[in-house]
Amino acid sequence: MKIQVLTDILKANQTIALENKKIFDKNQILVLNFMSSPGSGKTLILEKTVEKLKKDFNFAVIEGDVATSKDAERLAKYDIPVVQITTESFGGDCHLDANMVKKAMETLDLSGVQILFIENIGNLICPAGFDLGEDKKVIVLSLTEGEDKPSKYPVAFRNSDLLLINKIDLLPHLDIDLDLLMENSKKVNPELFSIKLSAKTEQGFENWLDWLVKEYRSKAQKKCTSEG
Amino acid sequence: MHEMAVAENIIKVIEEKLAEQNQKGKVTKINLKIGKLTCVEPEALRLSFEVISKETPFQKASLYIDSVPITGKCKDCQKSFSLNDLEFACPFCSSFRMEIKTGKELFIESFEIE
């Protein structure tokens, strides 16, 4: 007996992602999903961002790793709500999905939170296919990864809204063609906005902070406009 | 690898459909449409499915995968085309601005039970 289905395989994830987004929007929280290879410097970027902006904004973080809570411990030092998801308990998944974020939200105090960072598992393939309920996807690339990453991981680059090119302080020590990296990125996603920075030396960091503040204000403005 | 998550979701969707239609039985065939842009590897998906379906009503199910090519329409010259590799340039005017028409599918079309 044949049964028609005609359904998206990841329908369940999409449904939960939309539910998550409704909650975030109702609470006027800007949510960013950070994706990258392992070792790109995502966590240091988040640490420095919270350190510099916590006097102006209330942050919260959902950390995703296969194992350990080391990254969550680093962010918790800034006295902000942090929840660690370790996917070991979900079977060792290499990406976060909307249901994991939904479970994390049950233990996270979102009252008063204005900006939520979701630091995804270090992986440039799988996270790109799973919406979590975020407003924007941010991809972090370390300069040490070379020029051809965008061509090798087109889905992640096409699905992202912002590219942070980190460790720019290492440029004098690397054989990397930065113009070629930018060209490869544009070929895969012409609309991907990029910012070059160093989380360590803070070179270019203010451009990322400006982008973040602008995104927060833009979301808040849209909310005000829609409420008339 | 995300093929495991995809395999798990295939089973979930079919189980829901069976419950919705009040049907039971062993699943023998599953027809899927998978776009090349999803980067889901058919063989990896079959292997993942084989692993997680052991000792379930899905364990004898064969996956029939219709691999959907990537096609797009250029936002500048408005021409439609296929993309054979993952370089997103219009073959007519070399623009990188395009709307992807097919290639993103991750779809269960139908399945069969006995």
A-B CB pairs within 8 A amount to 92
Residue A120 exposed, middle or buried by CB count within 10 Å (0-12, 13-18, 19+): buried
Residues of B near A (Cβ–Cβ under 8 Å) read 1-2, 4-6, 9-10, 12-14, 17-18, 21, 23, 25, 32, 37-39, 86-89, 96-97, 106-114
CB-nearest to A10 from B21, B37, B106 is: B106
Residue type, A7: T
Cβ of A225: how many Cβ atoms within 10 Å?
8
- Tens digit of pLDDT for each residue in B26-79? 999 999 999 988 888 899 999 999 999 999 999 999 999 999 999 999 999 999
Q: Which of A3, A91, A151 is facing B17, going by the closest CB pair? A: A3
Q: How far is B13 from chain A (nearest CA, A)?
A: 7
Reply yes or no on whether the pLDDT at A49 is more than 80: yes
Looking at the whole model, is its pTM more than 0.95? no
Contacts of A85 (CB under 8 A, 6+ apart): A62, A63, A64, A65, A96, A100, A101, A103, A104
Domain ranges of chain A: 11-226
What percentage of chain A has pLDDT greater than the value 90?
61
Does the beta-carbon distance from B110 to A1 stay under 8 Å? Answer: no
Tally of structural domains, chain B: 1
> Pairing state of beta strands A115-119 and A59-65?
parallel
Range of the structural domain that residue B47 is part of: 2-69+102-113
CATH number of A11-226: 3.40.50.300
Answer whether residue B55 is part of any domain.
Answer: yes
Do the chains contact at B86 and A188, CB–CB below 8 Å?
A: yes
Those residues with Cβ within 8 angstroms of residue A185's Cβ, 6 or more apart along the chain or in another chain: A150, A157, A163, A192, A194
Q: CA of B97, closest CA in chain A: separation in Å?
A: 6
ipTM of predicted assembly, 2 dp:
0.80
User: How much is the pLDDT for A147?
Assistant: 92
Domain assignment present for B90: no
In a domain, B6, yes or no: yes
If phi over 0 gives left and psi between -120 and 50 gives alpha, with beta otherwise, what is residue B82?
beta
> How many H helices and E strands in chain A?
8, 8
Q: What is the DSSP-derived secondary structure letter of residue A172? A: G
pLDDT band at residue A106 using 50, 70 and 90 as cut-offs:
very high
CA distance A137 to chain B (A): 17
Nearest to A101 by CA among A42, A27, A44, A21: A21
Nearest-neighbour CA in chain A from B92: distance (Å): 15
Residue B79 lies in a domain: no
Indicate whether B87 pLDDT > 80.
Answer: no
Task: Report the CATH number at residue B16.
Answer: 3.30.2320.50
Chain centroid offset of residue B17 CA: 18
The span from the CA of A224 to the CA of A192, in Å, is 27
Any B CB within 8 A of A16 CB: no
